[in-house]
Amino acid sequence: MKQTTLQVGGLTPMTTIDYPRELAAVIFCQGCPWRCRYCHNGHLLPRISSDPALIEWDEIIAFLEQRQGLLDAVVFSGGEPSLQIALKPAIEQVKAMGFKIGLHSAGVYPERLAELLSLLDWVGLDIKALAENYATLPGVRGSGEKAWESLQLLVASGVAYEVRTTVHPELLPAADLETLESRLQTIGAANHQLQKCNTGHCLDTTLTT
């Protein structure tokens, strides 16, 4: 059965770091089809969670009604927000309230990202590796092609964005990172930010600093 309302696994009421130069709230969407070794949000991975901490969508809207004029933006993060069919109507509802809309995504579903781009004001897109080396990270065949297709759609869209790459020497050797940066330049992708892998809360507990 399709979920008709967004499944929310968490909420950050206010942040200055999740949407550039804007005061934002972050909605953490439940569910992700990938199992990236360095993922630090393991509790958000199941599509349906029995966790009593799940937040009802009506509660999110009630919270945002109280923050109109105080917050600039709302960021949908995860998990992988585009997993949920309910994401688009949720974004439309929040945008109608006057908030700018940000999206954190791994580019898992390029066709869904394409449907959302006209509603988005900013995107933080994870590009984890070279397309041909991707599968070893999320454990899903073809994941690299999906992520890089999403990147090309984003670059062509005119929507403001940031490309983020998490760096761990075991998962992304220096030579591969150099090639990745070269490919990003080739397709015109700008604003590439590197993130150090925090192994303290990784899904793969064998990863070390």
pTM summary value:
0.93
Which residue in the block uniquely carries the two structure tokens 């439940």? 30
**Higher pLDDT among residues 40 and 31, named by residue:** 31
- What beta strand segments (E) does 61-181 contain? 73-77, 100-105, 122-126, 160-167
How much is the pLDDT for 7? 94
Instruction: Identify the DSSP state of 203.
Output: S
* DSSP code per residue over 189-201: ---EEEEE--GGG
What's the pLDDT tens digit per position in 130-177?
A: 999 998 888 899 999 999 999 999 999 999 999 999 998 888 899 999
Kindly report the CA angle at 122 between 10 and 150, in degrees rounded to 5?
90
What tokens appear for 136 in the block? 């070893």
For β-strands 160-167 and 192-196, DSSP reports them as parallel
Bridge-partner residues for 15, per DSSP?
24
